[in-house]
Amino acid sequence: MKKGIIFDLDGTLWDATEQMLPAWNRVLTHFSSREPMTLAELRSYMGKTVEEIAAAALPDLPEKDRVAIFNQCSIDELPWLKDHPGKIYPDVPQVLAQLAKDYPLYIVSNCQDGYIQTFLQVSGMENLFADFTCSGMTGFGKGDNIRLIVEKHQLDKAVYLGDTQGDYNACAKANVPFIHARYGMGTVEQPVKSIAAFRELPEMVQSVFSDELH
């Protein structure tokens, strides 16, 4: 039986919001008249698609214009993050290396194409992940992309670690068990299995897969 672990990125493996903020604000200042974005506001958008962020941040602009602005934010942040990497959560490299001995690991995120690649490059963890995908690569939402990974890699059992309600909803759509990363940036309304620190993940994964067998 093939079992795999799928990860969200922002708020789950790292927090790059503080590093992304200046890159986003340079674009917003150039292309819009809105006030500079705060760190709290940016964090509230993590896990959302470009279209959802644009609608919330620039509601008065036509959809085409506001999406174009945030597409530019996505473009400008990548070279910036290569020189100003986000902060990887404690114990992530060590725990991933431990888990990768027993399970294939994957990343599914609502981000632009190139963002996951940048994370893997600056973190030096490319060799730990079997595959990844995102909305910018497929045009699909997170639920469909989770299902895509499960089907592509013929996983009999999978579990997803994420930090937001949107992650939970995507897992419900994909029919994949969800673990809430409580240390991240989001909350989940439903009572779910959760971890307060990344080092708790191996034991929780075993618990989820054990439950699935009964």
pLDDT tens profile 188-204: 999 999 999 999 999 99
Q: Domain tally for the chain?
A: 2
Query: Angle, nearest 10°, between helix axes 63-83 and 50-57?
Result: 110
Last residue of one domain, picked from the residues 83, 103, 134: 83
Q: What is the pLDDT of residue 213?
A: 54
| 101 and 189 share one domain | yes
On whether the CB atoms of residues 111 and 37 are closer than 8 A, the answer is no
Helix locations, 84-192, DSSP H: 92-100, 115-123, 135-138, 142-152, 165-174
Q: Does 43 lie in the same domain as 113?
A: no
Q: Determine the average pLDDT of the residues in 92-105.
A: 98
Whether residues 44 and 104 share a domain: the answer is no
pLDDT at residue 48, rounded to an integer: 85
Chain segment 6-36, per-residue pLDDT in tens: 999 999 999 999 999 999 999 999 999 999 9
- What pLDDT was estimated at residue 97? 98
What are the tens digits of pLDDT across the range 43-62?
Answer: 999 888 889 999 999 999 99
Give the number of C-alpha atoms closer than 13 A to the C-alpha of residue 118, restricted to the C-beta side: 24
pLDDT at res. 166 = 93
- Same-domain pairing of 50 and 116: no
- Same domain (yes/no): 79, 90: no
- Provide the pLDDT for residue 199: 98
Q: What is the pLDDT of residues 30-43, one digit of tens each?
A: 999 999 999 999 99
- The tens digit of pLDDT for each residue in 119-156 reads 999 999 999 999 999 999 999 999 999 999 999 999 99
User: Which pair of structure tokens corresponds to residue 100?
Assistant: 């990768």
- How buried is 32 (Cβ within 10 angstroms: 0-12 exposed, 13-18 middle, 19+ buried)? middle
Of 33, 67, 83, the residue at which a domain comes to its end is 83
Domain match, 208 and 121 both:
yes
Co-location of 108 and 160 in the same domain = yes
CATH number at residue 141: 3.40.50.1000
Residue 214 has pLDDT above 50, yes or no: no
Among 83, 113, 129, which residue terminates a domain? 83
Flag whether pLDDT at 73 surpasses 70: yes
Q: Which residue range is the domain that position 72 belongs to?
A: 17-83
Strand 131-134 and strand 105-109: the pairing is parallel
Same domain, 36 and 53: yes
Same domain, 24 and 120: no
